[in-house]
Amino acid sequence: MADRGDTHYSVPSLNLWFLVSSVLFLGTMVWAVVDDWNAEWKQYQRDFRSLELAKAQSARVALEAEGAMGLRDDLSRAVYDAEMALASQGSALQDAERRAYELKEERFRIEEDFKKSKSLLNWQVYGGEKAVLEGDKDIPQLEAAELAAYRNDVAAKGLLFEEATIEWEAEKQVVADMRSAMAKAEKDLATGTKALTQVEDRIETLAPGDVATQVANFVRDDFPGLEFIGPNLKVQKFIPAGITFELNFTKKGRIDMCSTCHMGIEDEAFVGEAQPQAAHPRLDLFLSSKSPHPVKEFGCTICHRGAGEGLSFQHSDHRPSNEEEARIWDDSRHWHKQHHWDYPMLREQDVEASCIQCHKTSMELIADSAPRVTEGYRLFEEKGCYACHKVDWFPTDRRPGPSLTNLAAKLTPEFTNAWIADPRGFRPTTDMPHFFNLENWPENEVVVTSDYGAGREIFGGEWNRAAVAAITTFLYDRHLLDAVDAIPADVRAAADAERGREVMNLSGCFACHNTAPFMGEIDVLPALSNNVTERNQMGPNLRGVATKLNADWLYRWILDPNSYWPHTRMPDLRLSEADAMDITAYVFEDPDGIFTDTPHGWDADPEYQSSLDPEVLREQARWYFQKDGRTILESRLESEWGETAVLASRLGERLVMTYGCFSCHEISGMETMMPIGTELSSWGSKTVDKLDFGQHYLKEVAGLPKLDHHYREGWLERKLLRPRVYDVDKVKVPKDRARMPSFGFSKDEAQAVATFVLGLVNDEVPGKKMAPNAEQATSDAGMRAVRQNNCMSCHLVDNSLVTFRDESGSLQTVRGMLQPLLDEVMPPSMNSMEAFAADREVAEFNADEEIEEVIIKLLEAEPDYGGPGELHFLEVDDLVDVTPSRGGSFVGQVLEYYMFGTAVAGENGEAVAWTHGGVDGQGVLQIEDVDGQVRPYSATELDKLRWTFAPPVLLNEGHKLQPDWFYNFLASPSEIRKQVRVKMPTFTFDPGEAEAIVGYFGNKARWEWHSRYARTLRLAMGRELLTGLSDPDTHGWDMPADARNWPIFPLANITEPGPGLSAEDMEQRMAATPAFILDAATIRSIEAGYKTDVLASFGKLKAWGDSEGFSMVGPLKRGTETSKRQTRAYLDARHAFLEVGESVAVEGVNCYQCHPNGSTYVETPISWAPSLDGVATRLRPAWVQEWLWNPPATYVGTAMAVNFGSDEPQYQAQYPSSTNAEQIDAVMDWLYNKDLREVDIQSATIAEQAGRIEELEAQQE
Amino acid sequence: MKRTFSLSAFLGLAVLSSIAIGVGQDAPPTSKGSALAGKIAGRILFEGEKPKVKPLTVGAAQSVGCCAASENVDDQDRSLLIGEGLGIANVVVSLTVKDAKVQVSEKPVVYNQKSCRFEPHVLVVPVGTTVSFTNSDKCVHNVHLYAFHNTGFNRAVPEGKDAKGTFKRAEAIKVSCDIHPWMAGYVVVTDATHWALTDAKGGFSLEGIPAGTYELKVWHEKLGKAKAEVTVKADGIAEPIELKMAPKKPRTRRRK
């Protein structure tokens, strides 16, 4: 079209523009199509598909190798044979089928007829009733006879129908019978080839064989511009209900598309693959539908953060875990930091931070699965961070530092001053942080020019020294007590330092304290208490204490810690005055050079008051009292604060308030002040722009990486390691300088605390905010109380583990311990493989022999290896790992003292082993017993020493103790085993702590019962029961034929130890009954105590166990159980048995030879057993019954003998023609009523009432 | 000629050993060698001054039923018996002859508890033996085994009854009774082929040992282990052994 000249535009140029824009538009479209076709995630999905295909193909190869093809051929042939067999019967089957069909049709006809006559009858009846009701004359009223005819008709037709049905069913059965062989063969084929069929189907889907599907798939997946029509490659997403995040002041639901690229994330088959195809770690805990965190409910970003809707590596805001990874990502994926997304993904090492948002009130429960954030949480508590920085949910509120109310009675001002200035200078391991002489007050830099710029210059060092001295002055100005009561003269006169060493080593002091040498120093005489264990760092290291304390204070403190510091975690050991005095004498006489040892360079500054330079003090007062106004302040400085001591005290008070000392320490007059730190309840939601990165964030500082102002982790880490670093090179007046003290964190510790703080976010997880249920809450509180009171230093709660390689080369772990190596008497260390290797070297050196084999003593039922107390032999090279028992590290220390004493100086100053009692004539160490006698103890009886003189194990303790008794015992411990010199202390529990401890042990036992049952069952089923009971020479005493009906299967002490049924054999045996089908993996999973499988499948296992005649008491019920043995009705019926029981126990078994009879003890403490008084209130009957049947099955190595349970029942003189079970029954009757024999009537009534109340409660539920 | 000789020697030995088994009903089965029976004899002596051994502490209440009313419990401490010329009794001396077979008793070997003492004080049995711990007293005992290489047990054994244990690994197992804490004995399970227990004068003799050089192993419950090399010459004679054992020093802690 030509340009007519009447337009404002030129058509040719318009055409040109049109052309250009069309081309551009087309280009853009092509670009868009290609770009979409070539999207990053599509490539990942294609990769994933080939990986999946490869896996399926190799699975098929594996199946073929197993002979799956042959099996299929065989099974197919069986089907074919069955078909042929059927065909060989000629037309019989067709005839039968035809007959069945005809009969069916006939039956249908009769049924219709039957229905019709029923409706007719109904109609007549209805009509009659309606007529009567409404008086409707139109409807004919039937005579009774006519109605009866209808009825008869219905009945007759019904009969016909029944007959037809029976006939049809019979014919059907004929057909089914004829086809049954065929049907079975077909079913066998389907089940036998299930795995193969699945794999082949998968391969067919992924790589179809036929060309048409291949073409279709190509178009769907790979044809640019058409692939959107019916794509196989799709964006995957999780939309967890109710989980939101904050976006520009609104709450937005989370949509997580992560699995678009991470396609194998939920699939176990992809464990260990490269990213992005890899499966998530710990699928038992995360993502899978069986786990507690199914991905459909939680999504991804609630834990990982980042941009869930991002569909590329960059846009989803991936985070490298370190600089190295960042570099690699930059090179390989052009990764760079996101600038405009407030929720960067958490680094891999910080992901555990997210656990906190739901697990605030169950932090103890997740400790094993989330070690890093747990470490941070515990450091936050241990270092007392919570005392200054509020965290709204934090469960601990005791002041972490000692009370300073009566400081003057304990410490000298000289010590206190030096301590405040440099706590780690005296005790490198202290939790008290450094407040002074840090980098924002450099020693030689001018802080201010005094007198409003007119006076002399004051340097950082002077300023700090004066401040410390001022605080000391204030603390000693405000105290209530100058000195504690002096030690009575007669007590002091009888002091025995040598005995004090033994008292200190055996009473339990070193369960919480140690005396390890200062870092880098080595003791000439390595005292037993120098060993540092996981748990003896609860209290302070006691090295050097004699230089800071006075003897009177220490004596009083040992006798009653609470009178000096009411909230101390130090419990009351109820020591005698003599014991306390001897300890005090040992500490102050210090024969071993431990308690007067101080670190190199430490000096309790005797001249500290010279630091109180009035000019510096006045200048500080000018800054810290600035608000009072210059005029008032100056006049005050001239008059009432004119005296240096007064000025120092007033300034000291202000500094204490400034630095918040009262947050950790109780100081008179400051009890109610609010903590001074920033609240951290939602620090993890703080955005980076709110942080001051200081002047030097681009520099590397003392080994710390450059700070990245996009992220908060580095800021936190640097703050924790160098709390004043952000002040450096800033102009800040003294008052405004940072006050956070330095805790001397290691890098790992700082990172752990940082992870914890990152998790303190204000995001809510509505609906799923895991409020733990009552049981979990109790367990959590109980576990915390157990940890905070350091119960597990003395008490073992879980057995140690040994991991080894079995014959097939796979790793196995059993609950067990290693037996002593070669000629040693102590078992090797189970702390780590390094410690084991060291012990191995020593043993080989001592015996001059190479170790080839190690022996594992099993501590519980391990169905693949044997029962408790049995041994498993192993080549030493197959030992892979050892895990120490949970708790009980102090037990080793007690035993070591009994066997080796502790090192002290010999005549020539060399280290020799010694104890207070010395050695007997044959070189055996002698220990003082509780009766004051000194006796030798032999290492051969290590087991017995352990069970007699060490603190008791708390394995399955909830099953053993009656909760009421347990609670009362915790509140006020009573003596159970008099011979134990380690004292169960009296703790000052916070409200609820004791209940929680009781509840925790109950829950633990209740839960663990399932695993115990499953393991014991499998072991029991594999063992041959003996039948030839009458011939004493054919067998040992063990395994009577009724053994499985005993309350606990007699696992230990059998003449033929060894494994039980394999899980696979058990699966087969169970499969014999259709109701009990369980696969081997599930059986193992129940044995491991995996919650989901226990809940889902334990019932089946138990039912099968019952059907096999296996019996084990449990599970434990909640709350207090009343023993039926104490009810009146029971006693009325069984009264006579109390005497029989007593006679069996006292004359037959001879209980009182070891157990004290009232207050009468037998000769030697090593034979003493717990008192039988109070068994009725202390122990659960179910536990006692198990225990009496077979003590070493409960506690491996116990000194309690197997008294009942032989194939030929004993004690017939006391209880004629009785069985083992009857004897135990009678003994228990006696045990549960022996204390009440005279007054049992009344008690029985109370017990009965309790029983009725329980019944009523049960009914209400 | 040579062949005939060795065959006849073998036959002779076989006869001898069958007699030995027949006789050794009470004593533990002694071991047999192959051709050319040699003999090793010697003594184990105590080094140093003879220590004074205190009698055992026998609790009056605990010893009820141990013996007849007129008798007292024997309170001699047998853990270190030093006789004439400082010879030590109850020392186990053993050696291993390659390829020699050990006959294990099919019937359980009896380890008795009588008058609240273990009888014998030390019982030596070969690996694989079943030991029957019997109680000939009128009171209950409990047999407490401190085994490390075998599965131990702790069983009550009322009067006239027994408890059996089969031991498959070599070790010296301490046996005690917790009801009568002074009672202690040892069952020494040995994997050696020849062994002997020293008599009251510390003397022992091992017979039926072919010519060769052997490592003689010595064990005593209090004094520990010792070793010596011994050679049996071609004529079947070995130099008499005299070995001294000293009391052990108190152990020091071995861990740092």
Give Cβ neighbours of residue A907 (< 8 Å, ≥ 6 apart): none
pLDDT at B248 over 80: no
The number of beta carbons lying within 10 Å of the beta carbon of residue B25 is 10
User: Considering only A573-582, A659-668, A1072-1081, A1234-1243, which range has the smallest mean pLDDT?
Assistant: A1234-1243
Q: How far are the Cα atoms of A1091, A1142, A1154, A1232, A1251 from residue A1243, in angstroms, in the given order?
A: 40, 20, 28, 12, 12
The number of beta carbons lying within 10 Å of the beta carbon of residue A522 is 9
The verdict on a CB contact (< 8 Å) between B164 and A1154 is no
**Is there a single domain that holds both residue A461 and residue A495?**
no
DSSP E strand boundaries for A778-893: 801-805, 811-818, 853-858, 871-875, 879-883
Say if CB A445 and CB A559 are below 8 A apart: no
* Cis ω for the linkage preceding B120 (within 30 of 0): yes
- Strands B194-197 and B92-95: what pairing? antiparallel
The verdict on a CB contact (< 8 Å) between A1037 and B163 is yes
Instruction: Select from A230, A191, A216 the least CA-distant residue to A72.
Output: A191
- Strands A286-287 and A293-294: what pairing? parallel
Nearest CA in chain B to A1211: B158
The end-to-end CA distance of chain A, in Å, is 93
pLDDT digits (tens, 9 = 90+) for A309-342: 989 998 888 999 888 999 999 999 888 887 777 7
Residue A568, in any domain of the structure: yes
Quote the minimal CA–CA distance from B241 to chain A in Å.
23
pLDDT at A1246 over 60: no
Mutation for A interface: B151, B157, B168, most A CBs within 10 A: B151
Sequential DSSP letters for A25-92: HHHHHHHHHHHHHT-HHHHHHHHHHHHHHHHHHHHHHHHHHTTHHHHHHHHHHHHHHHHHHHHHTTTH
CA pair distance A755, A683, nearest whole angstrom:
11
Helices A630-638, A614-624: inter-axial angle, 10-degree rounding:
150
Point out the domain boundary residue: A326, A345, A364: A345
DSSP state of A710: T
The verdict on a CB contact (< 8 Å) between A871 and B181 is no
Three-state SS at A294: strand
Quote the minimal CA–CA distance from A1030 to chain B in Å.
14
DSSP state of A260: G
pLDDT digits (tens, 9 = 90+) for A525-581: 678 888 888 899 999 999 999 999 999 999 999 999 999 998 899 999 999 999 999
The verdict on a CB contact (< 8 Å) between B255 and A829 is yes
**Is there a single domain that holds both residue A25 and residue A123?**
no
**Is there a single domain that holds both residue A341 and residue A304?**
yes
Identify the H or E element spanning A97: helix A92-134
pLDDT at B148 over 60: yes
The verdict on a CB contact (< 8 Å) between B253 and A903 is yes
Residue A654, in any domain of the structure: yes
Smallest Cβ–Cβ distance between B178 and the set A870, A1037, A1167 belongs to: A1167
Sequential DSSP letters for A1164-1206: -GGG-----TTHHHHB-HHHHHHHHH-HHHHSTT-S--B-S--
Greater model confidence, A886 or A1218 = A886
Point out the domain boundary residue: A589, A623, A640: A589
Residue A209, in any domain of the structure: no
Quote the minimal CA–CA distance from A1238 to chain B in Å.
27
Q: How far are the Cα atoms of A718, A1054, A1152, A1241 from residue A1197, in angstroms, in the given order?
A: 51, 15, 21, 39
pLDDT at B10 over 60: no
Which residues of chain B make contact with A1148, given a CB cutoff of 8 A?
A: 140, 158
Greater model confidence, A1126 or A472 = A472
Three-state SS at B187: strand
DSSP state of A1144: I
Say if CB A679 and CB A685 are below 8 A apart: no
The verdict on a CB contact (< 8 Å) between B251 and A899 is yes
Interval A349-359 mean pLDDT = 92
Give Cβ neighbours of residue A13 (< 8 Å, ≥ 6 apart): none
CA pair distance A1019, A1043, nearest whole angstrom:
13
Interval A583-597 mean pLDDT = 93
**Is there a single domain that holds both residue A841 and residue A965?**
yes
Quote the minimal CA–CA distance from A264 to chain B in Å.
48
pLDDT band at A236 (very low <50, low <70, confident <90, very high): very high
Give Cβ neighbours of residue A631 (< 8 Å, ≥ 6 apart): none
Which residues of chain B make contact with A825, given a CB cutoff of 8 A?
A: 251
The verdict on a CB contact (< 8 Å) between B107 and A1037 is no
The verdict on a CB contact (< 8 Å) between B144 and A869 is no
CA pair distance A836, A827, nearest whole angstrom:
10
User: Considering only A348-362, B14-28, B157-171, B199-213, which range has the smallest mean pLDDT?
Assistant: B14-28
Residue A756, in any domain of the structure: no
Which residues of chain A make contact with B164, given a CB cutoff of 8 A?
A: 1035-1037, 1055
Instruction: Select from A1227, A293, A252 the least CA-distant residue to B156.
Output: A1227
pLDDT band at A137 (very low <50, low <70, confident <90, very high): low
CA pair distance A266, A1082, nearest whole angstrom:
19
The verdict on a CB contact (< 8 Å) between B158 and A1210 is yes
CA pair distance A1220, A1207, nearest whole angstrom:
9
pLDDT digits (tens, 9 = 90+) for A255-313: 999 999 999 999 988 988 888 899 999 998 899 888 889 999 889 999 999 889 989 99
**Is there a single domain that holds both residue A421 and residue A461?**
yes
Residue A547, in any domain of the structure: yes
Q: What are phi and psi of A620, to 5 degrees?
A: -65, -40
> What is the average pLDDT value for chain A, to the nearest integer?
87
CA pair distance B167, B129, nearest whole angstrom:
6
The verdict on a CB contact (< 8 Å) between B51 and A903 is no
The number of beta carbons lying within 10 Å of the beta carbon of residue B20 is 18
User: Considering only A104-113, A405-414, A762-771, A1125-1134, which range has the smallest mean pLDDT?
Assistant: A762-771
A937-962 per-residue burial string, b: 16 or more CB within 10 A, e: under 16: bbbbbbbbbbbbbbbbbbbbbbbbbb
CA gyration radius, chain B: 20
User: Considering only A938-952, A1020-1034, B176-190, which range has the smallest mean pLDDT?
Assistant: A1020-1034
Residue A1214, in any domain of the structure: yes
Tell me, what's the pLDDT at B3? 41
Chain centroid offset of residue A267 CA: 26
**Is there a single domain that holds both residue A329 and residue A432?**
no
Smallest Cβ–Cβ distance between B166 and the set A820, A901, A1055 belongs to: A1055
The alpha helices in A824-901, defined as continuous H runs, are 833-847, 889-900
Which residues of chain A make contact with B184, given a CB cutoff of 8 A?
A: none
Say if CB B158 and CB A1148 are below 8 A apart: yes
The verdict on a CB contact (< 8 Å) between B148 and A855 is yes
Quote the minimal CA–CA distance from A1155 to chain B in Å.
10
Tell me, what's the pLDDT at A141? 67
Which residues of chain B make contact with A1149, given a CB cutoff of 8 A?
A: 140, 156
Mutation for B interface: A825, A933, A1053, most B CBs within 10 A: A1053
The end-to-end CA distance of chain B, in Å, is 66
Mutation for B interface: A871, A1187, A1208, most B CBs within 10 A: A871
* Cis ω for the linkage preceding B28 (within 30 of 0): no
**Is there a single domain that holds both residue A253 and residue A167?**
no
Nearest CA in chain A to B109: A1033
Size of interface A-B (CB pairs under 8 A): 151
Instruction: Select from A697, A905, A789, A921 the least CA-distant residue to A913.
Output: A905
pLDDT at A1034 over 50: no
Which residues of chain B make contact with A527, given a CB cutoff of 8 A?
A: none
CATH code for the domain in which residue A574 is found: 1.10.760.10
pLDDT digits (tens, 9 = 90+) for A452-479: 888 899 999 999 999 999 999 999 987 7
Instruction: Select from A669, A672, A654 the least CA-distant residue to A480.
Output: A669
pLDDT band at A637 (very low <50, low <70, confident <90, very high): very high
The whole-model pTM stands at: 0.84
Which residues of chain B make contact with A900, given a CB cutoff of 8 A?
A: 251-254
Mutation for B interface: A940, A1146, A1147, most B CBs within 10 A: A940
CATH classification code of B2-245: 2.60.40.420
The domain spans of chain B are 2-245
Smallest Cβ–Cβ distance between A1148 and the set B53, B140, B154 belongs to: B140
| Maximum separation of any 2 CA atoms in chain B, in Å | 71
Chain centroid offset of residue A280 CA: 21
**Is there a single domain that holds both residue A948 and residue A1029?**
no
Tell me, what's the pLDDT at A730? 85
Nearest CA in chain A to B174: A940
Q: What are phi and psi of B93, to 5 degrees?
A: -115, 130
**Is there a single domain that holds both residue A926 and residue A814?**
yes
The verdict on a CB contact (< 8 Å) between A913 and B152 is no
pLDDT at A967 over 70: yes
Give Cβ neighbours of residue A938 (< 8 Å, ≥ 6 apart): A924
Q: How many structural domains does chain A have?
A: 8
Which of A515-529, A641-655, A753-767: highest mean pLDDT? A641-655
**Is there a single domain that holds both residue A1083 and residue A1040?**
yes
**Is there a single domain that holds both residue A856 and residue A902?**
yes
pLDDT digits (tens, 9 = 90+) for A669-682: 898 999 999 999 99
**Is there a single domain that holds both residue A1161 and residue A1025?**
no
Smallest Cβ–Cβ distance between A1154 and the set B107, B153, B178 belongs to: B178
Residue type for position A53:
L
Chain centroid offset of residue A470 CA: 47
Tell me, what's the pLDDT at A1048? 64
Residue owning tokens 């520990």: B224
Enclosing domain of residue A115? 89-192
Which residues of chain B make contact with A1037, given a CB cutoff of 8 A?
A: 155, 163-164
Instruction: Select from A422, A570, A558, A432 the least CA-distant residue to A500.
Output: A558
Tell me, what's the pLDDT at A536? 92
Interval A836-860 mean pLDDT = 91
Residue A233, in any domain of the structure: no
Say if CB A1194 and CB A1205 are below 8 A apart: no
Q: How far are the Cα atoms of A1194, A1224, B49 from residue A1231, in angstroms, in the given order?
A: 19, 10, 53
A366-403 per-residue burial string, b: 16 or more CB within 10 A, e: under 16: bbeebebbbbbbbbbbbbbbbbbbebeebbeeebbbbb
Say if CB A327 and CB A56 are below 8 A apart: no
> What is the dihedral sign for C-alpha A61, A64, A68, A72?
positive
